[in-house]
Structure formats: C-alpha cells, structure tokens
Amino acid sequence: MQTELSNQLGVEHALFGFTPFPAVAAAISRAGGFGVLGAVRYTAPDDLKRDLDWLDAHADGRPYGLDVVMPAKKVEGVTEADVEAMIPEGHRQFVRDTLAKHGVPELAEGEASGWRITGWMEQVARTQLDVAFDYPIGLLANALGSPPADVVDRAHGKGVKVAALAGSARHARKHRDAGIDIVVAQGYEAGGHTGEIASMVLTPEVVEAVDPLPVLAAGGIGSGAQVAAALALGAQGAWLGSLWLTTAEADLHSAAVTRKLLAAGSGDTVRSRALTGKPARQLRTEWTDAWDDPAGPGTLPMPLQGLLVAEALSRIQKYEVEPLLGTPVGQIVGRMNEVRSVQAVVDDLTRGFERAVDRMNRIAGRSGPR
C-alpha cells in the first residue's frame, strides 16, 4: 500500500490517521501508517508539550504529524471574553432548559468544565505551533483550510509538509495557490466538519483540480477495498479519523460513548451545527435533534456555538446522559462494531487492500485482448 507520497514521507502504508489521542497516533505510526495528533483541544501549551513528549517517545522513530484548527485570515484584538459577550441570553436559556429536561446534574461548585473549543482562535493555534515546531513533526495539517502564509513558510523552512482539508475542487485550488503541499479531499460521509460532496465524486475532482499535488481521500473509508478505490480515483493515500475511535488505544473517557459507537449503523449520524456552529457529522442524539428542531432558537455561527455548549457537553459527558451523549463520527461507524487494537485495524486494511488489488488484477486479465 505504497505511493509516491508515502515513500516521500517514509511510511510503509499510505494510511494517514487523524486522532485526538497520542496513544492512537503513536500506534498508527508504529503500525506503518502516519499518525496525526489533533491539537484543537490543547489550550495550554504545557499540555501539548507533555503529549508530544509522550508521542515522540512511543512512535519508535516513525514519522508523525500535527493537525491544527487555524483560520487563514487574522482577526486582531478579539478575546474569548469578547466572543462570549456576543452569545444571546435566549440561547443560554435554551441550553439550560434542554439540560433540565433530561435531568443533567450541575458540575460541582468550583469544578471547571472540560476543554473549550478555543483552538480555532489564532493566538491559541500559534502557541500550539510554537510547541510543535520543537519536535520532528513531518506534517502540519489544518482543518480550516489553508493556514496563514507565514505559517506555511515557517513549516517549509523546517522541512515540514503542509496539508489542508478541502470539501470542493474550488477550495482545493485555493490551497494549491497558497503553497499547500497536500490536499485532503474530505467527503460528505466524513466525521466532523464536512462539505456537501460525497467522496466518490469529490476525490477525482480534487485530484484533477490540483494535479500534480498529492491528494488524500477522506470520508467513508474503513476497509482495504475502500482504500484501493481511493487510490484508483487518483488519491495517493487515505486520511482516516473515525475508524480509530473504537480502538483499544483510544481514550474516550466514556464507556457509554463506546457502546453507542459500536451499536450505531451508517444511518445513525447527522450533519449538524449543534457542536461548533459549522456543519459537522456526528452521532444523532436528542441533543442534535433539539438544536435541529425548527421550534428551537437555531444554532449560532462558529465560534459562538462551541463556546455556548462547552460546559453543557462537559456535564453530559461527565454524567454519561446517554440520550444526549454523542461524538463526531463519520458514516463509516456502521463498520465499527468491535474494539480492536490499532495494529489489528491496520492489518485488516492492508489485507483487504491486497485482496481488492488482486481482484482487480484478475478482472483486468480477463478483460484483455482475446
């Protein structure tokens, strides 16, 4: 499962695994793929340094990367408090009423809520990069399109390739023009923030739009046959995220979330703005239903929605209120029906890839001149 890009990056398999868990990222790299640690939850530089220390020590010298959420355009002088003040009281009351309806307990007095979605703010992302560039990362990916030009230059100056996610050929061309090295074509089926074009259509469109830049296919990929299909469409690898959520190395901090993921089918996700204000695919729950209900106040734009619901989600997760409990995940969740090690997942992908390639070779042999 090797391509020109995987050879350039020094990995055995053209599998790029995005994950918020250092243990999963390290295991992906050890298994011959390219582990990419998501940084959005790290609001304190010391926390990111701690986990990069661990990842670097446990990747066994294999390459790994970092994924940030960084806007291309700089907004001067805007603080988190400024943004908080923009949240309408009616939306705050809707959150309180929804939690009360389901009997969600308050946090203990003085207890801080969990991580807040503030990694989108440029000053936070830049502190993440100040930490990350002290490590031998091989790839910097940005989930909000092309990072600012000075960040691209800084990465290139350190020999780090830069990737950006795209949901359309138009977005992909903007990345190419911004000096991005790798475009991740993220289809509608993917978990988290997605566009509206399915992977089967999107991947070849992006490949053609940015040729000769390498493209990674993302969204709806969870088997070796699907990886083979992505390469057949012109991609140079697969970008996988949801598939790792039910691995033994993942630390979801919630047995209930794991149970819901294992039980879910491919039709049990919804593309909702309830989490961040941007359309993000996630498990469908009574929480997403409440926000998508026309009778409700509707979601706020990013980043207001993320800040509004941060404490509520912390309470839902802490007390495992199952009707409201969810997580970003793609439609591939229908294949995620058992807990397996990262190595077992990679082995299954590579074996499935070999079977698919063999099958196509046999078809090609039968369809030749007679």
Q: Convert the pLDDT of each residue in 121-146 to its tens digit.
A: 677 888 999 999 999 999 999 987 88
Do 138 and 285 lie in one domain? The reply is no
Structure-block tokens of residue 232? 């057949």
Query: The whole model's pTM is what?
Result: 0.92
Which regions of the chain does DSSP assign to beta strands (E)? 15-19, 34-38, 64-68, 139-142, 161-166, 182-186, 192-193, 215-218, 238-240, 269-272, 280-283
Examine the pLDDT at 66 and tell me if it is beyond 50: yes
Domain encompassing residue 211: 4-75+117-250+338-364
pLDDT band at 13 (very low <50, low <70, confident <90, very high): very high
Q: For strands 182-186 and 215-218, give the pairing.
A: parallel
Query: With pLDDT > 90 as the criterion, what percentage of the chain qualifies?
Result: 81
Q: Is residue 370 part of a domain?
A: no
Structure-block tokens of residue 355? 């079977």
Rounded to whole angstroms, the Cα distance separating 129 from 19 reads 17
Rounded to whole angstroms, the Cα distance separating 144 from 96 reads 30
Examine the pLDDT at 366 and tell me if it is beyond 70: no
Query: If residue 51 lies in a helix (H) or strand (E), which one and from where to where?
Result: helix 45-58
Do 304 and 194 lie in one domain? The reply is no
Q: What is the mean predicted confidence (pLDDT) over 314-327?
A: 94
Do 65 and 106 lie in one domain? The reply is no
Full strand arrangement of the beta sheet holding 280-283 = 192-193, 280-283, 269-272
Q: Residue 335 has what DSSP assignment?
A: G
Do 124 and 19 lie in one domain? The reply is yes
**Burial of 347: CB neighbours in 10 Å, binned 0-12, 13-18, 19+:** middle
Do 131 and 104 lie in one domain? The reply is no
- Is there a contact between 346 and 15 (Cβ–Cβ < 8 Å)? yes
Do 131 and 271 lie in one domain? The reply is no
Do 164 and 93 lie in one domain? The reply is no
Q: Is residue 268 part of a domain?
A: yes
Do 52 and 165 lie in one domain? The reply is yes
Rounded to whole angstroms, the Cα distance separating 35 from 11 reads 10
Q: Convert the pLDDT of each residue in 192-218 to its tens digit.
A: 999 999 999 999 999 999 999 999 999
What count of residues does the chain have? 370
Q: Convert the pLDDT of each residue in 79-101 to its tens digit.
A: 667 778 899 999 999 999 999 99
Do 279 and 306 lie in one domain? The reply is yes
pLDDT for 82: 77
Domain count for the chain: 2
Rounded to whole angstroms, the Cα distance separating 56 from 70 reads 23
Q: Is residue 161 part of a domain?
A: yes
Whether the bond into 297 is cis, omega within 30 of 0: no
Do 242 and 260 lie in one domain? The reply is no
| Angle formed at CA 156 by CA 154 and CA 159, multiple of 5 degrees | 120
Average pLDDT score, the chain: 92
Residue type, 268: D
Structure-block tokens of residue 118? 């503030």
